[in-house]
Amino acid sequence: VTGSLDGRLRRQEGVLAQEAQGQTVLLRLADGGYYAIDEVGACIWALCDGETPLTEVVTALCAQFEAPQAVITADVLEFVAELLREQLLVESA
Amino acid sequence: MSMEFALLVDAITPAVPPPPADDAWRRAPGDRLLRTAAWHRVVPMLHRRLLALRWAPTTVRDAIEDAYLANAARNLAVMASLRDAVDALEAAAVPVMLLKGAALLQDVYPDPAVRELLDLDLLVPGDQLEVADAALGAAGFRPESDGGAAPAQEVRAGHHHAAPLVDHRTMTAVELHHHVAMASERRHFPIDDLWRRARPTADGAFLLPSAEDLLLHVCVHFTRNRLGGSHDRRGSGGALAQVGDVAWIVHRERIDWKLLVDVALDYQLHGHVYLALYAAHAVGVPVPASALEALRPAGLDARVARRLVALRVLRDGEHLPVRGLRWIVAPGRRALERGWDADPASAMSMAGAYVRRARVQLPLARSALRRPWTVVADHRLSAQLKPLEMSGEELTSR
C-alpha cells in the first residue's frame, strides 16, 4: 500500500490516541511503545478509518493545508508507510 | 519564594498567567527547575507553562516535553486498565467509585496528560472486597508479590485499601479502597455518606465522589503526606502536584463551601482540610477566607500552617525525613518488616534490613547535620503536627 493511493488503512487494534497540547500521542498497548505526531499526522490518523481510500485522505489534506498536491501525496505515503512499519496502522480487508 | 518555585506555582495554576513583566524568571536555572518539578511531580504541568512563556533552555525544554508526552502515553495505558477494572467489577455487580487521580482525570483536568497518575484508586463497599478482588483477579489483575493479598477482614480493620493488584499488560497498580480515610482518621466518617453523595461523570461512564468529597479527600491526603515521612519522599515530595489538584478542583467544580466545612467538622477532619486549603491559598488558589476561618482548629498557632508551607510544600530534595533523626537511627520493627522486607522471626534478616536502610539514610543524616537549624525547624513542626497524625482529632497549639 505504500506506493498506492487506492489502499484503505485502519488503525491497529490496541493502539490508543490522545490529543496533547497540539500533538497527538499514540500508544501501542502491546509493548508500551508511544509516538507523538503533529497536527497533519493527526488528520491522517483520524482519516484512516478502514473506509476512506488514501486518495480521499490526500484530497482532504489538500483542502485543509496550503501545499502542492504532489508534496502532500508524497508526505502522506511516507507517513502511512512509517505507521505501517510501526504496526500502528494495518491494511483494511 | 525562589524563581523556580514561582514558575512551578504558575505551572499548577489553572488559568495560565501572563509572563511576568520583568524577565527575572529567565534566570531560573533550568536543571534545578527540572529537578524541583520532578520532585513535586509537576513536570508535565510545567510543559504547559513553558509553552505559554515560549521559553526554556533547549535541553530543559526538550526534557520537559519528553516527560509530558511520556506521561500522556502512560495515562492512556492507565485509563485502559481503568476501563477493564471497572468493567470487571460491574460485571460482578460490585459498585465502584473512582478516587483521586482516576477521578480527577475524568472531568477536572481538561488535559489529562498534565497530571501524573501513579496508580488507580477505586472505592468499593467494604463487604464486597473479596468479590471485587476475585473479579479483578479473573480479569488479569494480580498481586504485586507472590505473597498474595491480605485477607479482606484484616484490610477492613487496619488499612483503608487492600494490597495493590497489578495489570501486567500496562503495569498499572489498582488499589481497592473500602474507605478514603485511614483507621485513625475515619472514626467519625461514615463512608456511606460518600456513596450517597456520589455522582456520575459527565459522559456517564464512571461514578465519582461529589465535588466537596473529592476536595475533602485530596485535602486529607495532602495533609497526611505532609505529616508522614518515608525514606524516599520526606514530606515535601509531590506536594505541589497535590496543591495543583486542589487548584483545579476549585477552578472547575462548583464547590459548596458550607457543605465542605460542615462535613469536615462532622468527620473531625477539619484540621487536615484546613492545612491543605491554607497551603493552596498561600500560593494563590482562591479559597474563601470564610471557609478557611471556619475550618481553622481552635487554638491553632497560625505560624504552624505557615511553617508547613515553607518546610513541606515550597521545598524539595534531600532534607531530613520528617520523623527526625531518631527515626533514621532507630526505626521500629514494623518499619523494617513493611518497608525493608525483614522477617521478624529472624534476627539476621532484621539486621540485614537495618543495614540496607542505614545505607540509604546515612547520606540524609549527613546532609541534615550540615544544616542543624533546618533540623530543629523540621523537628519542631513535626511535634506541632503530631496530634493530627496520631488521632485525627483537632489540632492544638503547642
Distance between CA atoms of residues B92 and B369, nearest Å = 55
- Determine, for residues B113 and A32 on separate chains, whether the beta-carbon distance falls below 8 Å: no
| Distance (Å) from the alpha carbon of A37 to chain B's nearest alpha carbon | 11
pLDDT of residue B107: 92
- Nearest of B231, B224, B301, B294 to residue B260 by alpha carbon: B294
* Contacting residues of A for B112, CB less than 8 Å apart: 18
| CB contact residues (below 8 A), chain B span 69-128, against chain A | 69-70, 72-73, 75-77, 79-80, 111-113
State pLDDT tens for residues B57-99.
677 788 899 999 999 999 999 999 999 999 999 999 999 999 9
State pLDDT tens for residues A45-81.
999 999 999 999 999 999 999 999 999 999 999 999 9
Q: In the 8-state DSSP scheme, what is residue B161? A: B
- Determine, for residues A25 and B72 on separate chains, whether the beta-carbon distance falls below 8 Å: yes
- Does B298 have pLDDT greater than 60? yes
Quote the Cα angle for B5-B9-B12, to 5°.
Answer: 140
Q: What is the DSSP string of B95-114?
A: --EEEHHHHHHHHT-SSGGG
pTM confidence score: 0.84
* Contacting residues of A for B48, CB less than 8 Å apart: 21
Q: In the 8-state DSSP scheme, what is residue B22? A: S
Distance between CA atoms of residues B372 and B369, nearest Å = 5
Distance between CA atoms of residues B328 and B229, nearest Å = 11
Summarize the confidence of residues B259-267 as an average pLDDT. 97
Provide the ipTM: 0.86
Q: Phi, psi at residue B203, to the nearest 5°?
A: -90, 5
Q: In the 8-state DSSP scheme, what is residue B27? A: G
B294 at A interface, C-beta within 8 A: no
